[in-house]
Structure 1
């Protein structure tokens, strides 16, 4: 049994729960090594106190589960079975007094089906336990995330060669996502963003038909999945020449990015990272144009715990991985964001991303 399962069983005993049911496919993968997209079918890992864990999978995934899962007791269900009755059978016909579930993952409909078949005395949320486990990455997880970062940076390097006169934002997106697959990534970890000119003032703009022009700033926000883990990087470039105001904005964001990275140390609060980056931007007179948090947790999900906003008083711990991505967005002019992925070691921050950050001018 892996360490995470041991911790969950200990939490179950300490929390006086009779059983735990894990249903988020990413968490099933995290705890068992079996990766699956069950679509509408039921997938669950059941831990009953004092018993061997049970992995419940659709019958069509049985062979894959047996090959990949560290949990060897596997129960399957067909498309005509009621999986909740199968779940009930694992309790020997009785119902647990206290059952832990992932409340954020259960829809109302699925919870009603669960409660009808397994009418536990109480249902407790185990989401915080899983969040705590995932927040501290193992060396193997960090290795996979570093690999995902290296892949996306190579894609960005190759993608820059396609920035030519007349090319549109969406055409660059198509080229980048083709290169991701060609490089060996499972795919993009979120919708690839390429924005140009005034569109760079939209923090979450949608790439469209606008064609790249001299004098534009060109923003790439992209990531890939590799080995089950995500990367996330943003770099901003100038096209042909640099507007003086945009150059000032760029240098301010770069200084804020470096300040945020320097503040990313075990024992500090997550909020202090946001404050360190924001102070640089505010001092330069652009505070109103930095309207989002400085970063977010990164791992099996592109956005996971923690949220690096200024009011987050939770403490950074060795093993955390998160992004540092300050930005300035001036409507009608343009914007800049510079984003790195950072892993916290006992000695300090280690950036998993290494793509150069000095302002670069691209020539069409």
Structure 2
């Protein structure tokens, strides 16, 4: 049998199991990656030690699955007697669990690897039916960290949309007028909510969406994920962090800019210059084969030499988070760019996003997204970095 496109044979051998089983829906990135199929209701993916792949779905999804799914072996609820099992079990969930049991029996599977987040109801049902269940770290997490050309193109598309939205947000802030320290745009008070709305509208123009976009101002920026719904202030830092996803292509991008309308204090200017210098050093460090911790430590070195506190030293102010993370079907995925020793590989898409945060002053963060290449990196973020507008 031909080895599947996404072989997880090594995981099954290490776990001493016959197959890997996962359930999910359109919110589960692993099952979409493995099948290239989406559905609002849960469905099942199975890969056996011999390389056989099975997609188990409801009967109504069969036609669409035959067109969209990369898995050709499709079994439906009707194939496995779902309706008859409902009559027998008097419960739809028990009937569905019985269908999964029958699927495993037909594939001659006895010991099953499942991801850590596998539903406990199905796990208990399978155990009662005589199967051995072994929770394992998802093998698809590592596979997904190495992006193929089509994935990179999908990420670039989302990034393009994100930059258009970021540009629109910055333009509104730049065009604003100050009245008693508060920003106004087109005669109305400019709020974080309004800027967030402008970002959403621009993303929709490109078929993208973003949840939990960060627009924060002033002391709210001292919290890395802080938000400001109300008025945006002049002479204060405004952090804009957008992580859009293409609704069709499903891939995310991620970027952050910090801007200020008015006059920046000497302290804020020095913070911005330090964050920019730390990011540039981090970017220069990126290349395949080095530990991600080298990038993180390079960023911390810059901050500490300039007298700022860092996460590395256990500080609760200053640089208080890791340097970055992988981006793909999830906005946060492998590899992490922090204190871990994982080696960067060509094909990783990661963020480099140092920041400084002080409660009495506010925060500054800059975030670019890069592709690790054979010789170094390609910066996928083209939007300029300008602090004072």
Structure 2 counterpart of 1:323: 351
Mark the CA change 1:94 to 1:359 in structure 2 (over 3 Å): closer, same or farther.
Answer: closer
TM-fit CA distance, 1:5: 3.8
What does residue 180 of structure 2 align with?
none
- 1:91 corresponds, among 104, 128, 135, to 104
In structure 1, what is the Cα distance between the partners aligned to 2:103 and 2:51? 10
Q: Tell me which residue corresponds to 1:184.
A: 207
Match of 2:124 in 1: 112
The range that moved more, 84-93 or 240-249, is 84-93
Alignment of 1:1-364 (within 5 A): 5-9=5-9, 11-12=11-12, 16-24=16-24, 25-38=28-41, 42-50=42-50, 52-77=52-77, 81=92, 82-92=95-105, 96-103=109-116, 105-117=117-129, 119-127=130-138, 129-163=139-173, 164=176, 165=184, 166-185=189-208, 187-188=209-210, 190-209=211-230, 211-226=231-246, 227-287=249-309, 288-310=317-339, 312-361=340-389
Q: For the Cα contact (< 8 Å) 1:101–1:123, is it kept in 2?
A: yes
Larger mean Cα displacement after TM superposition, 23-32 or 243-252 = 23-32
State which structure, 1 or 2, has the greater radius of gyration over its C-alpha atoms. 2
Give TM-score, length-normalised by structure 2: 0.84
CA contact (8 A) 2:4 2:51 kept: no
Q: 2:351 touches 2:368 (CA, 8 Å); kept in 1?
A: yes
Rounded Cα–Cα distance in structure 1 between residues aligned with 2:108 and 2:341: 39
Shift of 1:66: 2.1
The structure-2 alpha-carbon separation of the partners of 1:64 and 1:93, relative to structure 1 and needing over 3 Å to count, comes to: closer
Count residues with an aligned counterpart. Answer: 351
* RMSD of aligned alpha carbons: 2.3
- Offset of residue 51 of structure 1: 6.7
Distance (whole Å) between structure 2 residues aligned to residue 334 and residue 328 of structure 1: 8
Where does the alignment leave 5 or more consecutive residues of structure 2 unmatched? 87-91, 177-183, 310-316
Task: Verify the 8 A CA contact 1:271 1:313 in the aligned structure 2.
Answer: yes
Offset of residue 115 of structure 1: 2.7
In structure 1, the gaps of 5 or more residues are: none
Q: Is the 8 A contact 1:306 1:322 kept in 2?
A: yes
Query: Match of 1:54, SS?
Result: strand
CA spacing shift, 1:2–1:337, aligned 2, 3 Å? farther
Shift of 1:337: 0.2
SS in structure 2 of the partner of residue 221 of structure 1? strand
Distance in 2 between residues matched to 1:113 and 1:204, nearest whole Å = 40
Q: Distance in 2 between matches of 1:94 and 1:345?
A: 40
Q: Partners of 1:61 and 1:84 in 2: how far apart?
A: 19
In 2, Cα distance between equivalents of 1:272 and 1:240: 37
Q: CA deviation at 1:2?
A: 9.7
User: Secondary structure of 2:104's match?
Assistant: coil
